[in-house]
Amino acid sequence: MAAGSLRRIPRTGDGMAERNAPAEERRPDPNEKLVKIFDSEEESEAMVVKGLLDSAGIENDLASASFLQDAFPGLGGMIILVREEDAEKARSLIAEYRRPAGDAQDDDETKS
């Protein structure tokens, strides 16, 4: 190997700026309108709904409503916020999730 043709060995962190660039493009707009589409006293139920929205590709934010305890004692639980343009789709997914699984079958059984 000639002295001027040394091969550069990649180091940890090389290219990090290039990999992080798309993340900056995806940063949320602090001025965009968020809408509350779900609230629950049960954190586990809120986590299930968050997973449902995540799997549908709807970006969402799960937040604790306990910060309102000083102003409204007894109010707590979890809330889920989505972008205003995603609210209708998110609400329909949640409504479908809440619908009992046997609704269509129950109708068929009552007709026979």
Structural domains of the chain ordered from first start: 33-100 (3.30.70.1530)
State the DSSP string of 35-103. Answer: EEEEEES-HHHHHHHHHHHHHTT--EEEEEGGGGTTTSTT--SEEEEEEGGGHHHHHHHHHHHHS-TTH
Predicted confidence (pLDDT) at residue 77 exceeds the cutoff of 90: no
Per-residue pLDDT at 41: 87
Predicted confidence (pLDDT) at residue 80 exceeds the cutoff of 60: yes
Whole-prediction pTM value? 0.59
More confidently predicted of 77 and 53: 53
Predicted confidence (pLDDT) at residue 22 exceeds the cutoff of 50: no
Q: Give tens-digit pLDDT for 23-72.
A: 444 555 777 889 999 999 888 999 999 999 999 999 999 988 765 556 66
